[in-house]
Structure formats: C-alpha cells, structure tokens
C-alpha cells in the first residue's frame, strides 16, 4: 500500500459486497469485493475522486478497452466489467489473483530456473498477443505480473499502454526495467522496448534484483539510468543458470534495439530452446492473433507455439454513465529526489510543451499517478545533471554543428538524394527486416567433432545461415545450413572456431558472430 496517502473509502457497488483493501496506487485503490451473482471474489480498481480529470479518465478508459480486448488470453488478467459508482468514481472489475505478485515474491523467494523459463514463455505469448492487436504495454515489470489461483502468471496494468501506430509522445516507464530509448531526448516505445522490459523482468526473478542495480554500490535513479544507457548488466552469479539463458537475457537487453529479439514471440522461442537444452518440458506459448478467424488454430514448432484467433470482449464502458470529468487536477505533491535509491514506481513522461527546452535538457517527466505533465524532482535532477556542460564543450559543439551542417548542405546540393532531419536521440528507432547477428552460441565436444548451436534473434521466413570456419589444417568450411546447428571436425591446433551470419531472402546479411572452444 502506498505510504503517500490513506486509501479512499470503498464505493457502494450494486451486486458487489466489499471485503477489504488490496492496495493503493498513485490515483487509484484496489479493493477485494465479493460478486453476488455469480458468486466469486473480484478485484475492483477504483479511481480517486480528486484524480478524475480528462487525462486520467482517458487513461482509465483505454485500460478498460485494452484489457477487455485481450481478456481471453490465459496469461492476461481478465476484466469482467467497467462502470461508474454512484459517487462518480470510475471502476474496473477484474479477476482476483490471490497469490503474491512477482514484485513481492522476488524480494524474498528464490525462483528456480525452470519456473522462470516457463513463466517467461507464457508472458512472452501474452506480450506477443498484445503486439499483434496493436498494443504496446510499456510498463512490464515484476509487480505487473500477478499469479492466478491456478498458479499461472497473468500480465496486468495496461494503464499506460498505447497502440503501436498511435502518435503518443508520452512514455510510461519504471526505471529499473526500462530500455535506453525511454531516457532519450525524444523518448519512444516499440515492440523492442517491451522485449527489453520482459528480459529485464526475467533477469530480476533470477538475480533477486534488477539487472542494473549494483549490489553494495550506489543505486540512485541517476546511477541506474547511466548503467542502462551503457548496457552495464551485472552478472547473474548463479551456477544453476546456463550460459545460454544468460545470453538470451543479455540479448533481449541490448542497448541498440536492432540487436534485441525483434518480437516477444522470438524471445519466447529462445526461452523454449533453453528449456529443450536443459531437458525440461517445453512450455506452450499461446498467441492470439486478431487477423485470424476466432476458430482458427495454427500450431507451430511442433505444437510449442499455438496461434489462435482473438475472442474480443466488449467492456460496455460506454453503455452506462459516462466517465465524467469533474474537478481540476490537484496540486502536485513532492517526491524523492533522484539521489534516493531508485524507485520501482511507474513514471509517465509527458510530451514536450510549447516552450523550447534549453540545450541538454530532457523533456519533462511526470511522476506515477500524475498525468498532468508536471516535472518531479527526480526528473529535474536528471535534467540538471545533463545540462551542466562546460563552456569550452559548448563552443566546440557549435563549431562541430557548423561543420556538419556545411557537409550535409554539400551532399544535398551535389546529389539527387534528399535530406530529412532525424529524431534528436542517440538511439534510433529500428529499421524493419534488418537481420541481427546470431545469439546464444554454444559449442559441445562430441567425439572428434564440435557441435555448434545458435539462435536467430529475429527469425523471418526464408532465413538461412552463412557459416564459415578456417581450421589450421585442411580446407576452409563454408556452409549454408537452414537449422541453427552444425558439427565440424575438431581443429588440431587446439581451438575450434565457427563464425555465423544470418541472410534474408532480400539479400540482407547480418554481421558474423564468432564462437570458439578449446578442444
């Protein structure tokens, strides 16, 4: 329960009997109610009356619609309805998940590798389903994965979700699990951003801490953000975690989004491959695709992935009283500065206002539960630190800008091409269809041969692998296998190496990834 405020009194809801408070957030409380008919426990998320303004209601309405659309997925929390109470507070009625969420569990329990792999595959299917429906979650973290009565993980809290094609400059994030692009001068979110957050969440369950927290070190928001931007992932330091799994998680958290898995489904398949390598039962990944008929079923990977048509549920948000807006936004409370230990609360970065920011400043960020775009002290601290540029560096940057500008002008005026300004961010949005290097390479000695395996981080139909090896004796090896594996003779020189690249049917080819083993 949030320590910032006392919970509001539960509303009187027809057909429901209040039981107890489950928790409180920035602008909503969650209560346990007993539904009278049919008789069952339900979780009811109720907006605070003082938080009911246009922006908050729009986020709330969006959450209801998104969760209802995806409600039939077995790893997404089910929504039963949405309405407005007699005292004017909008509320959602959702599936009650009685077990502690993963944000509570990882701080006290040690997760087994098998459990993390299984729930990773299941949540990957949920995220892939959301993406195929055109929805980005944007706040995947342990606390947003609940556990049902049947001990199945269920993704929740789509309050800051957005559609993949929506022109929405605001970005939701919880710092410890956010990708680098969330902290760019012009933040953006893509499918790769959710892949990063899911990989960071799975790492957290294994390590008992977020990937960019340093045990015994300084873990302020500024420190953690700097490590995220550099890609400084601390080693897991668990002997029971195979190297292939650690490689999968690291690949999902690459700084460059183009080097991550291109989809949640690709990440799920990589986790399934680790399960197979460990001789574990391969967890089925359920993916619902709204482009397929409801009764269509497409089994892939021998049944390991099941793709079905989406069954949509109408939330009836517009059938009852409108989610009315009332009082203006309340005064913004003060929050901890960025020098505090990094918080796992959700932060909503608002779009830039009409004022032109100073050089080096970041767009204003709003604290969780504040959709009005008011900067928190934490965001201001980040801005102040990044704007302290020495005068000499400023002059040098100005000279460099002039030189670059002249160069661009010469290119544009001398050729037939055109020049368009790009986003002012060090991390560009990924270009589609560009293959990434193979990942999770392994090597195993089998008799007088070495068996190499690897994974395709962004598989596309028709992909082949370009393989080469230059042994100290004999002819060079040049192969184009379709499957991600190849056995070659042991090099008598003592070290056997293999280099692998991915080639598309379009002719695009990734860089080579090399792996060596002493044998």
Distance from the first to the final alpha carbon of the chain? 56
Q: Residue 191: what pLDDT?
A: 92
- Written as six digits, the tokens of 78 are 């089910």
**CA–CA gap between residue 257 and residue 276 (Å, rounded):** 27
99 φ, ψ to 5°? -80, 155
Q: How confident is the model at residue 38 (pLDDT cuts 50, 70, 90)?
A: very high
Active site residue 138: yes
Average the pLDDT over each of 81-85, 255-259, 335-339, 395-399 and give the range with the smallest value. 335-339
The mean pLDDT of 27-39, rounded to a whole number, is 93
Report the distance separating Cα 333 and Cα 325, nearest Å.
21
| pLDDT over 90 at 199, yes or no | yes
Residue 437 marked ligand-binding: no
- State residue 60 phi and psi, 5-degree precision: -65, -45
In this prediction, residues 32-50 reach a mean pLDDT of 93
Structure tokens at 311: 């069954």
Fold of 439-518: Immunoglobulin-like (2.60.40)
In the predicted model, is pLDDT for residue 114 greater than 70?
A: yes
- The pLDDT assigned to 112 comes to 97
Using N-to-C axis directions, what is the helix angle for 264-277 and 243-252, rounded to 10°? 170
Is a pLDDT exceeding 90 seen at residue 115? yes
Whether residue 1 is predicted with pLDDT greater than 60 in this model: the reply is no
Mean pLDDT of 235-248: 93
Confidence band, pLDDT 50/70/90 cuts, at residue 394 = very low
* Alpha-carbon distances, residue 252 vs 190, 233, 484 (angstroms): 13, 11, 19
What distances in angstroms separate CA 142 from CA 78, 110, 168, 188, 251, one per listed residue? 18, 14, 25, 22, 19
Q: Which residue has the higher pLDDT, 94 or 479?
A: 94
User: What's the pLDDT band for 519 if we cut at 50, 70, 90?
Assistant: confident
Catalytic member of 89, 132, 138, 308? 138
How far, in Å, CA of 57 to CA of 259, rounded?
37
From the list 174, 158, 5, the residue with the least C-alpha distance to 71 is 158
Average pLDDT over residues 453-458: 88
SS (H, E, C) 254-317: CCCHHHCCCCHHHHHHHHHHHHHHCCCCCCCEEEEECCCCCCCEEEEHHHCEEEEECCCCCCCC
Is the pLDDT at 165 greater than 90, yes or no?
no
Q: Higher confidence at residue 150 or residue 401?
A: 150
Give CA torsion, residues 156, 158, 163, 168, to 10 deg.
-150
40 close to 116: Cβ distance less than 8 angstroms: no
Percentage of the chain exceeding pLDDT 70: 68
In angstroms, the CA 117 to CA 261 distance is 16
Nearest to 286 by CA among 312, 273, 271, 304: 304
pLDDT value for 201: 98
Strand pairing class (285-289; 305-309): parallel
Give the pLDDT confidence score for residue 413 in this predicted structure. Answer: 40
- Whole-model pTM over 0.85: no
Directed axis angle between helix 191-207 and helix 264-277, to 10°?
30
- 102-163+170-309: which CATH topology? Transferase(Phosphotransferase); domain 1 (1.10.510)
The contacts of residue 58 (CB under 8 Å, 6+ apart) are none
Nearest to 153 by CA among 161, 144, 163, 162: 144
Cα–Cα distance for residue pair 162/57, rounded to 1 Å: 15
Rg (CA), the chain: 25
The strand order across the sheet containing 285-289 reads: 285-289, 305-309, 297-300
Contact in structure between 300 and 265 (CB atoms under 8 Å): no
- pLDDT at 265 > cutoff 90: yes
Mean local confidence (pLDDT), 238-267: 94
Query: For the chain, percent helix, then strand, then coil, each to nearest 5?
Result: 30, 25, 50
Domain boundaries, the chain: 16-95, 102-163+170-309, 439-518
Q: What is the mean pLDDT of residues 151-174?
A: 65
When mean pLDDT is compared across 132-136, 232-236, 266-270, 376-380, the lowest value belongs to: 376-380
383 confidence band (pLDDT: 50, 70, 90) = very low
Taking all residues of the chain, what is their mean pLDDT, rounded to a whole number? 76
Q: What is the band of 125 on the pLDDT scale with cuts at 50, 70, 90?
A: very high
Comparing 153 with 306, the larger pLDDT belongs to: 153
Residues 6+ apart with CB under 8 A from 157: 63, 139, 144, 346
Residues 282-313 pLDDT 10s: 999 999 875 555 555 565 565 566 676 544 33
User: Is residue 475 pLDDT above 90, yes or no?
Assistant: no
The pLDDT, as a whole number, for residue 416 is 43
- The predicted structure's pLDDT at residue 385: 44
242, 116 contact by CB (below 8 A) = no
Q: Could you tell me the pLDDT band of residue 162, with boundaries at 50, 70 and 90?
A: low
CB-CB contact of 516 with 480 (8 Å): no
Q: What is the CATH number of domain 16-95?
A: 3.30.200.20
């Amino acid at each position: 329960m949030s320590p910032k405020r006392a919970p509001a009194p539960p509303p009187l809801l027809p057909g429901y009997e209040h039981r107890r408070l489950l928790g409180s957030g920035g602008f909503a409380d969650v209560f346990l109610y007993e539904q009278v008919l049919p008789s069952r426990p339900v979780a009811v998320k109720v907006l605070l009356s003082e938080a009911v303004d246009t922006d908050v209601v729009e986020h709330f309405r969006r959450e209801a619609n998104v969760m209802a659309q995806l409600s039939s997925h077995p790893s997404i929390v089910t929504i039963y309805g949405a309405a407005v109470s007699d005292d004017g507070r909008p509320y959602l009625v959702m599936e009650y998940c009685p077990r502690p969420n993963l944000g509570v569990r990882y701080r006290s329990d040690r997760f087994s590798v098998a459990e993390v792999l299984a729930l990773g595959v299941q949540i990957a299917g949920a995220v892939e389903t959301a993406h195929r429906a055109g929805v980005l979650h944007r706040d995947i973290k342990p606390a947003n994965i609940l556990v049902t009565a049947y001990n199945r993980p269920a993704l929740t809290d789509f309050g800051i979700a957005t559609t993949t094609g929506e022109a929405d400059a605001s970005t939701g994030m919880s710092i410890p699990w956010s990708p680098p692009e969330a902290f760019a001068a012009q933040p953006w979110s893509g499918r790769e951003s959710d892949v990063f957050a899911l990989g960071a969440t799975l790492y957290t369950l294994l390590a008992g801490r977020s990937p960019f927290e340093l045990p015994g070190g300084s873990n302020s928001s500024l420190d953690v953000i700097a490590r995220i931007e550099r890609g400084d992932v601390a080693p897991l330091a668990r002997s029971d975690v195979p190297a292939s799994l650690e490689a999968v998680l690291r690949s999902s958290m690459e700084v460059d989004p183009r080097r991550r898995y291109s989809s949640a489904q690709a990440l799920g398949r990589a986790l399934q491959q680790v399960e197979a390598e460990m001789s574990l039962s391969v967890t089925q990944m359920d993916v619902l695709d709204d482009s397929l008929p409801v009764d269509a079923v497409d089994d892939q990977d021998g049944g390991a992935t099941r793709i079905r048509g989406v069954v949509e549920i109408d939330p009836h948000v517009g059938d009852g009283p409108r989610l009315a807006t009332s009082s203006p936004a309340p005064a913004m409370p003060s929050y901890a500065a960025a020098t505090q230990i990094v918080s796992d609360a959700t932060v909503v970065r608002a779009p830039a206002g009409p004022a032109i920011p100073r050089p080096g400043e970041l767009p204003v960020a709003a604290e969780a539960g504040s959709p009005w775009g008011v900067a928190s002290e934490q965001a201001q601290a980040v801005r102040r630190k990044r704007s302290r540029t020495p005068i000499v560096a400023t002059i040098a940057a100005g000279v460099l800008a002039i030189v670059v500008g002249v160069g661009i002008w010469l290119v544009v005026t001398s050729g037939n091409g055109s020049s368009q300004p790009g986003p002012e961010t060090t991390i560009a949005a990924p270009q589609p269809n560009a293959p990434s290097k193979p990942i999770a390479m392994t090597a195993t000695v089998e008799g007088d041969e070495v068996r190499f395996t690897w994974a395709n981080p962004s598989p596309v139909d028709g992909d082949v692998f370009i393989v080469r090896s230059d042994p100290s004796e004999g002819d060079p090896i040049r192969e184009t296998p379709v499957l991600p594996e190849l056995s070659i003779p042991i090099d008598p020189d003592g070290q056997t190496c293999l280099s692998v690249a991915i080639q598309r049917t379009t002719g695009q080819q990734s860089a080579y990834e090399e792996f060596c083993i002493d044998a």
